[in-house]
Every structure is written in structure tokens, then in C-alpha cells.
Structure 1
Amino acid sequence: MNITKENVDELNAILKVTVEKEDYQEKVDSTLKDYRKKANIPGFRKGKVPMGIVKKQYGQNILGEELNRIVSEGLFKYVDEQDFEVLGNPLPKNDVEVKGDFNNPDTFEFTYEIGIAPKVDVKLSGRNKYEYTKVKIDKKLVDKQLEDLTRRYGKLSSGEKVGERDMVMGKFVELNDKGEILEGGVMNDSTISMEFVEDEKLKKEMIGKKPGDKITLDPRSVSRGESDTASMLGIEESELENVSNKFQLTINEVKVMEPAELNQELFDKLFGEGEVKSEKEMRAKIEKDLAEMFEKDSDKILTRRISNDLIKKTDLSLPDEFLKKWILASQKEPITKEEVEKDYENYARSLRWQLIQNKIFKDAEMKVEQEEALNYTKGLLVNQYAQYGMPAPDDAELTQSAQQVLGNQKEAQQIYDMLAEEKLTKYFKETVKLNEKEVDYDEYVKIAQDSNA
């Protein structure tokens, strides 16, 4: 077998695969003999069918399968041995017919097209400056976190009237266009959390209401999305389109969340027995925990900024038409050309970033080792146990659980990706010059949500 490459341009090439008779004949003959031994053809005893009949019935299929195997293995080996990187996989060139005669097999020639990765040149050093955004962890932020924690571990008690953060329990009854109870309409008991009501006019109207009071409202204005609305009304989401937007809510009960007291019992629940002994220590612990939590988000913002900058500066060209064909050919589920076109820019951007990452990893001699992935997975499992207040199992059991997780291809890929991102972020922080900038929480959230910030 012989493979030759013809360059179309810097990013596209044609591969011609020539397969000689000696490359496939021995295997084809061997397979035909096996078929002859097992063939059940009327009029002949098993194993005694004339080879001519076996060849006529099975020969071309066997030859096709063998040629396909030889060509596939040959292409894989050829691509692996080259000093250029192929994007996707070689694709048969549909406008060029296979050369060769299956009725009188001899030499065959197959033609494939390939997309070639562009050369990537990434230069990062201390001369590159990037902003590193941090949250200003002030008293306001600590107070909010402290309030959230005391409410989370607080207890519900009955209230006399509706407040801004109370829970309202009542009966929803569907009304008709005249504002009267709809016969056979939806009727269901449910709960409204006032702190999630975004309609300020309705919220103002509800505050101060007492058990027994009635109010007309649209259930969608006191719920969070279609699924939540359907659940509130006790119906299927698909039924919502046939339901009125006018309901009567009769308030049955108001529940007030009483925050937990700042005492040793709460400190131990939150941080472990004896770890925190006063409100002052709790505030210090909250401040420390917030700093650690936001550092991970700040790292993600930094990596995003650098990736956006590198994608723009490197301006990598891709074999776009080839890649679009490859995406169409490689999808498990059917996809149209229009769908490929629509999402291609996102795909191309992601591919450019992957090529840049690979170059950085190669130049910096970074890689994710199997042992690292195992230990990282064990750490994730320990954190999961801690979240549920459970002690981690012994190392042998933990290792076995981690190996099971990594045995799942999808989960393993996610873990390797997380590890790779951590290594990449660490490399960035050690390589470029960081200009730290503190912003308040609201500004930080805006930056984190803006993919271009």
C-alpha cells in the first residue's frame, strides 16, 4: 500500500491511497475459506460448497470489508507519523470515483481529503499585562452572607401579615374573563416565596395582606419559569397554554423565617465542632471562605480574558469548508447544512482556542497525568461527602470509587478538562503580569456574566 499527499493549499490536501493485490489477497482468500466451511447453501453439504459459488455470493462484500480495513488502518498510521496535525478525520472525496474493478480485482486507488491545522505561535511573558479582577469583601458582603446562613438554619413561624421575605401559603383558583370562578377550572394549594417575586407593583400590593385576604394575580408573576408555574398550579407544563392568566389567591397562612441565633450550636453546624467560638470568628471565617470562593471565579475571568485576547491576536485560519463537511459526516444524530452553518462560528472559535491551548501545553511541557486525575477525583468525592456531612471512606474504597468515575468516558473527560484548565490558569498567573483590581460585588457579577469583559 502507498499513500501520497497532494497539497491544495496550506490548510487542505488530497491523500491518494493505492492498494495492491498483494495487500489484500491473502486475507480475502483466508476469509473465503472460512465462509466455505460454514456456508449453508441448498444442494450442497456444509463445507463442500464450490469455491466459485462462495466467491460469487460473498466475494465482493469480503473484498470491500478488507479494503476498508486496510485503508482505514493505513490512513491512521500515515496521519500519526506526519509532522503536521490533521483536523477531524480524512473524508472520502465524493467527486472522485474509486479506481479499481471489483469484478476483476487488482490495484485500487482511493482518494481522501484532509484539513490541516494551522501553525500556532503563542508568545506570553511578563511583558503581557492583564487585569485580575477581585471582589471587595466588605462588611456589606459579609453581612449578607451571615444573614443568608442564619436564615438557612432558622425556623419558620406563623406571621400576622405578609412581609418582603415571607412565605405565603394559599389557594389558587382560576377565574374567567369576568373575574368569576371558572367552573371546572384549576384549583390548587401552593406557596409563594416573597423574596423571589420580581413584579414590584404586585409585591407592594401583597405586602401587609393577612390570612383570609384575597388578591387577583397572574401565577406567572409569582413563579420562576414555566415549570415552576405548572408545579404551583398542580398541572403539567403542557397544560399551561390552556390556562387563564387570571387567578384568585386566598391567603391561608403567612410563614416568617426566624433567623437562627448566633450561638455555639450554629457555629458547630456551619464550621465543625469548636472551629468557631464567636460572631467575630464567624465573620472572619466567612470572609476567608468568600475570598477562596471568589478566587476561583477570578481565575476563570482571567483565563477567559487571556483566551479572548490570544484568539484575537493569533487570528488562526481554518479549513472551513472541510470542517463543515466533517461535522456533517461525524454527527451521531442527523444534522442539516443550515444547522452547521448557524453554529459554525462557535465551533471554529472553540477549535482555535483548543489549538492554542495544545500549543501552550506542548511548549510548557505540561500534561495531565493519570495519577493526577485519580487524586483529583478522590478530592472531589471527599468534598461531596463533606457537603452531606458524611465522613469520607478509607483510601482503598475512595480509590475504587474514583476509578469507577474515571471509567465513565464522559465524566473522565470533564475531570481531565477541569485539571487542564487549572494547570493553564496556574501557568497564566505565573507567566503574565497581573494588575489586580478590586470591585464591589455587583460590578463583579456583571463582569463575570459578560463573556467579553
Structure 2
Amino acid sequence: MNITEEKIDSQNALLKIKLEPNDYSAQYDSALKKYRQQITLPGFRAGKVPMGMVKQRYGRSLLVEELNKVLNENIQKYIKDKELQVLGSPIPSESHKEQGNWDNPADFEFVYELGLAPELKVEISKKDKFDFHTIKVEGKMLDEQINNVARRYGKMSEAMKAGANDMLVGDFVELDENDEIVPGGIMNQATVSLEFVDKAEQKKFLDKKAGDDVVVDPHKVSRGHDDLAKMLGVAHHDVHDINTNFKFMIREIKHLEPAVLNQEFFDKIFGEGEVKDEKEFREKITKDLEKGFVADSERLFKRDITNKLIADYNPSLPDAFLKKWIRMTNEKPVTAEEVENDYDQYQKSLQWQLIFNKLVENEAIKIKSDEVIERTKQLMISQYAQYGMPAPEEEELKQTALRVLSNQDESRKVYDMLYDEKLIAYIRENATVKEKPVTYDEFVEMANKA
């Protein structure tokens, strides 16, 4: 076997592989013998089909399979031995047809295209400046959260008339385009929370009593298609075809009276004596909200770092090769136009991966197996807590974590998470990071930017 590399430019190369019979004949003969033992043909016992017939019927496909194995194995070995930094994976050259006779195999020659990573030097210093945006918890947001907590621990009672924050229990009945009941149409008992209803539609319900009915657009009294499907008792895909009104027949009106902000309420929320007055209660709620926003701030911080470093270093890529590679290796067929439309996002992702890998290499960031196991245990404990379940004993928890990590995909997720955290911590320590408080609306606007 002879493999030669032909550089096209700094990021594109061709691999030319020449095979002689002794490079593949042993594997090919073994595959033929194995297949001969497995197949049955009319007139022959299992394993007794003449080899000439096996070759005639199946030889070409078996040869293709074995040559592909030989090629892949030796290409990967060549890349490793030569320490080539490839992007994607080698693909057969469309402009160089393979040479050789598949029906009478002897010498073969194949040509593969390679995309090569750029030479990249990345450094983080105090000259690199980043903002870490925190959300200011104040005013309307704090009042709304306190009201939500008070409502969560409030008392439900029957009401005579419907108010803007009440919940109605009743029956949805399907109507036709003339607002007449559809015989055999959709009919389902459900609840409607008026505080989440479109304001114009909400007015139709105000001051209504049990026994009254209201003609409504069901899309305007629900929060999205999932909610509407549950409300009407239909499958999700069916809600897209609903384009007429429904009658909502009110059975009950439920009014929620928020809890009174007193010592009994404070003790119920935070434990006896932990909060002594409304001022301390507001401070506690503020801290809880701030803690809940930390993960959002970290995500925005990472995105800002990613975008800035991509803009600063802008690693060059063999774009034509990568577009071809995506098209040829995608699980489902994709057109060149589809690849072009999505390429910008893929390009940025790969550029960040190159920068990320270089920083990890520069700083010799390592993840130990003990760290991975410990993080997996923490994730599992959090998951148990979400469902209100106690975590298992230490040994059982560890064994379960090891079983989870035996799955390569799950293991990679945990490793990626830890590498992310360590790299961001390194950047935070070595760059200039300024904490910048913003309002919730400002934060949302920044987070929604591409």
C-alpha cells in the first residue's frame, strides 16, 4: 500500500491511496469463505455453494465492503501518524475517479479529499474585556413574584361573578361558521384561567355567572397549541385545523384569595423564625430571584465570550470542503442550497470549537474521572429533588452514576459541561470582567439577539 499526500493549499489536501492485491486479498478471501458458510441456494446444502458462484453473485459487494475497511483503517492510521489536524472526515474526491477493475480485482487507486484545521494562536489576557450581566430584582418584578408566592399559598373559594384573575370550570362545545353547535363535534370539560386569556377575549367572561355561556375563539383562551389540545381533549396535530368558535358553558367560578403576608405565612415559606417582617421577606424573595437568574447570566456570559473570541480570531475554514462533507455525510439527503442556508451556524460552531480546543490545550485543562462521577451524582440528586424524592445512599448513587456514564453520549455531556465550566472560570480569572446590572427587560432583549 502506498499513501501520498498532495497539498492543494494550507487547508485542503488530497490523499492518494494505491492498493495491491496483497493489501486486501486475505480479508477478501476470508469474507468470501464466511459468506459461503452462511448462504443457501436452491440445489445446494448450506456451506456447499461453489465458491465461483459465490464470487459471481456476491463478490463485488463483499470486495467493496472489505476495501472500505482497509481504506478507512489505513487512512486513520496515516492521519494519526502524520499528526494531521483534519476537519470533518476524509471524503472520496468527486473529481478523481477510482481506478481498478471491480470484476477482476488487482491494483486499485483511490483519492480522498481532506479539510485541514488552521494554525491558530489564542491567548486570554486582561486586554480582553467582557461584561457579566446580572438582573436587577426590583419594583414590578419583585411585587409580581411576591404576589405569585402569596397566590400559591392562597385559598380557593366559590365566586358569584367572574373576575379578571378567576378560574372557570366548564364545557367547551364546538360551533360551526354560523356559531351553531356541531352535532357530534368536539365537547370537553376544562378550566380557563382568565389572567392568561387574551384581554379582548377576557372581557367576554367578566361578571358572568355559573350557568352562563360565552362564545370564544379557543386559540385566544389558551397558551399555545399544547394547552389548547388539552383544553379541547384532542391530539396536538388536530388543533391546527380548528378555525371556528367554541361555546364555553360555565359550571363553576373559582376565586383565589392570596395569602396574607403575616408571620404565619413567613414561617410556612421559610421556616419558623427565619423571617420576622415584610422587609426581611422581600429581601429573601429578592435573593431567591437573583439566585434563580444566575444560570441565565452564565449562559449569556458564555455566548458573549464565544461571539467575541470568534470575531477576534475568526479562524479560517476550508468552506467548500466542509459544505461538500456535510452534504455527503448527512444522515438524510440534503441539497447544496439547504447546506448553504445552514452553513453560517455550522461555521460559527466549528470556529468556536477550534478556539475552545486551543485554549484547553494551551492551559492543559484536564478533567479527572472522579470529577465526572461526582458531577453525575450531583445531577442525579437534583433530578431526584425535582420529583420530591430522596437520593439513594452513597454507594447506590455511585453505582447508578457509573451506569449512566457507561453510555458514551451521557458521559460526553458531563465531560463537555465540566470543560465548559473550567474554561469559563479560566477566562473569568485572566480577562477583565465587569459586572453590569440590567433590568429584566434589558436582559431579555440581549438574550434574544442572535
- Aligning the two structures, in what range does the TM-score lie when normalised by the shorter sequence? 0.7 to 0.9
- Aligned partner of 2:290 in structure 1 is 291
Q: Distance in 1 between matches of 2:437 and 2:447?
A: 13
- Aligned partner of 2:381 in structure 1 is 382
Report if aligned partners of 1:134, 1:437 keep a CA contact under 8 Å in 2: yes
Report if aligned partners of 1:166, 1:255 keep a CA contact under 8 Å in 2: yes
How many aligned residue pairs are there? 449
Q: Tell me, yes or no, if structure 1 residue 231 matches structure 2 residue 218.
A: no
1:150-200 CA distance string (max 9 Å, x none):
322333221222222221222333344444444444333321111211x32
Q: Distance in 2 between matches of 1:441 and 1:48?
A: 77
Q: Tell me, yes or no, if structure 1 residue 187 matches structure 2 residue 187.
A: yes
Bigger mean CA deviation after superposition, 93-102 or 75-84: 93-102
Report if aligned partners of 1:161, 1:209 keep a CA contact under 8 Å in 2: yes
- Aligned partner of 1:114 in structure 2 is 114
Q: Tell me, yes or no, if structure 1 residue 320 matches structure 2 residue 354.
A: no
Report if aligned partners of 1:174, 1:244 keep a CA contact under 8 Å in 2: no
Label 1:424 to 1:289 Cα distance change in 2 as closer, same or farther (>3 A): farther
Q: Distance in 1 between matches of 2:151 and 2:298?
A: 30
Q: Distance in 2 between matches of 1:401 and 1:36?
A: 45
Q: Distance in 1 between matches of 2:327 and 2:347?
A: 14
Label 1:38 to 1:157 Cα distance change in 2 as closer, same or farther (>3 A): closer
Report if aligned partners of 1:303, 1:428 keep a CA contact under 8 Å in 2: no
Superposed CA RMSD in Å reads: 3.1
Q: Distance in 2 between matches of 1:227 and 1:305?
A: 33
Label 1:281 to 1:394 Cα distance change in 2 as closer, same or farther (>3 A): farther
- Aligned partner of 2:80 in structure 1 is 80
SS in 2 for 1:14: strand
Label 1:61 to 1:298 Cα distance change in 2 as closer, same or farther (>3 A): closer
SS in 2 for 1:300: helix
Q: Distance in 2 between matches of 1:236 and 1:50?
A: 58
Report if aligned partners of 2:127, 2:431 keep a CA contact under 8 Å in 1: yes
Counterpart residue type for residue 143 of structure 1: D
Listed as ranges, the matches of 1:51-70 within 5 Å are 60-70=60-70
- Aligned partner of 2:148 in structure 1 is 148
Listed as ranges, the matches of 1:305-384 within 5 Å are 305-384=304-383
Q: Distance in 1 between matches of 2:79 and 2:11?
A: 15
Report if aligned partners of 1:159, 1:256 keep a CA contact under 8 Å in 2: yes
- Aligned partner of 2:274 in structure 1 is 276
- Residue 380 of structure 1, CA deviation: 1.0
SS in 2 for 1:366: coil
Identity %: 46
- Aligned partner of 1:23 in structure 2 is 23
Bigger mean CA deviation after superposition, 427-436 or 375-384: 427-436
Q: Distance in 2 between matches of 1:70 and 1:32?
A: 16
Label 1:53 to 1:140 Cα distance change in 2 as closer, same or farther (>3 A): closer
Q: Distance in 2 between matches of 1:218 and 1:242?
A: 13
Q: Distance in 2 between matches of 1:250 and 1:104?
A: 80
Report if aligned partners of 1:299, 1:425 keep a CA contact under 8 Å in 2: no
Report if aligned partners of 1:90, 1:113 keep a CA contact under 8 Å in 2: yes
- Aligned partner of 2:402 in structure 1 is 403
Label 1:344 to 1:254 Cα distance change in 2 as closer, same or farther (>3 A): same
- Residue 3 of structure 1, CA deviation: 1.4
Bigger mean CA deviation after superposition, 54-63 or 70-79: 54-63
- Aligned partner of 1:169 in structure 2 is 169
1:205-235 CA distance string (max 9 Å, x none):
4333332333332111111223322332233
Bigger mean CA deviation after superposition, 137-146 or 317-326: 137-146
Bigger mean CA deviation after superposition, 393-402 or 257-266: 257-266
1:124-153 CA distance string (max 9 Å, x none):
211111222111123644433232223223
Report if aligned partners of 1:219, 1:246 keep a CA contact under 8 Å in 2: yes
Q: Distance in 2 between matches of 1:88 and 1:190?
A: 52
Report if aligned partners of 2:176, 2:244 keep a CA contact under 8 Å in 1: no
Counterpart residue type for residue 434 of structure 1: V
Report if aligned partners of 1:176, 1:244 keep a CA contact under 8 Å in 2: no
Report if aligned partners of 1:20, 1:106 keep a CA contact under 8 Å in 2: yes
Label 1:35 to 1:128 Cα distance change in 2 as closer, same or farther (>3 A): closer
Bigger mean CA deviation after superposition, 50-59 or 417-426: 50-59
SS in 1 for 2:134: strand
Bigger mean CA deviation after superposition, 328-337 or 426-435: 328-337
Q: Distance in 2 between matches of 1:216 and 1:27?
A: 75
1:277-332 CA distance string (max 9 Å, x none):
54555444333332222222212111111211121222222222221222122222
